[in-house]
Amino acid sequence: MNKQELDCVLVPIGILALLGYHLWLLYRVVKHPSTTVIGINSMNRRLWVQFVMQDPAKYGVLAVQSLRNNIMASTLLASTAIMLSSIIAILMTNNNGATTGGIRGGALILGNTTQLGLSVKCFSILVCFLLAFFLNLQSIRYYSHGSILINVPFSQLYTSEPLPAGPAAKYVANVINRGSYFWSLGLRALYFSLPIFLWIFGPIPMLACCLMLVSVLYFLDVYTKYDVGDANTNSENHTCQSDA
């Protein structure tokens, strides 16, 4: 296998590893949410929204400040993504060829070092940054809506007959959760840009980064002890009641 064929073998393996992990994570979030950090946070946000909306006059400031912090985080990621996109676009339109020539001349780089190959790599990084920018914009959109809805009394959420508090709080929780989901997706897009960036230096660093990223994300995304404490507490309480 020559150097040019390494990209055709190692790069798809790395991309499939990342996609396979996130498909597995999506399955866990949908089927077993209490075993993932995303699912646990989603359930707790629903409880938090219901708690705040019971008395908006008392907890409204707390809710707005919390959502404002989330908006600031999404704004920071969106600004970073669009700034990096501009830098990549400038590099792609630069005609002096200095960077391209330096990369092609690297004897330690295994893989495709042609002008076309470098353009594909830079374009892939640009797509990741633009996708992160778009997703974080959607996150800001939903958080902005949620900051208004969370302070509306239950009886005023509907113009027709007032519905019970449950459906109203559920709708607001869904809006805020969508903002969090888009923020997580935007962050994942930035994560994806790291192995794509290392692809410039060859498919081997790119594959190594993909495998390492999957390992790190697994420990950050999976949590299997969320219900263990409650189960132990319930069993202890049941034992005490039996003894009594």
Tens-digit pLDDT profile for residues 144-187: 999 998 887 765 555 444 444 567 788 899 999 999 999 999 99
Dist. CA 17–CA 3, nearest whole Å: 22
Dist. CA 22–CA 194, nearest whole Å: 16
Find which of 2-6, 216-220, 228-232, 237-241 is predicted with most confidence, using mean pLDDT.
Answer: 216-220
Dist. CA 236–CA 232, nearest whole Å: 6
To 5 degrees, how large is the angle CA 81–CA 85–CA 89?
175
| Average pLDDT taken over every residue of the chain | 82
Cα separations in angstroms, 223 against 33, 93, 178, 215, 244 = 10, 45, 21, 14, 35
In terms of phi and psi (left: phi > 0; alpha: psi -120 to 50; beta: otherwise), the region of 15 is: alpha
Tokens 């020559």 belong to residue: 2
Look at residue 244 in the predicted model and tell me its pLDDT: 34
Q: Is the dihedral of CA 113, 117, 123, 128 positive or negative?
A: negative
Nearest in space to 169 (alpha carbons), one of 39, 43, 46, 38: 46
Residue 236: pLDDT above 50? no
Beta bridge partners of 222: 36
Cα separations in angstroms, 79 against 43, 101, 134, 136 = 29, 31, 11, 9
pTM strictly above 0.85: no
Number of H helices and E strands in the chain, helices first, is 8, 0
Helix axes 56-92, 37-53, angle to 10 degrees: 140
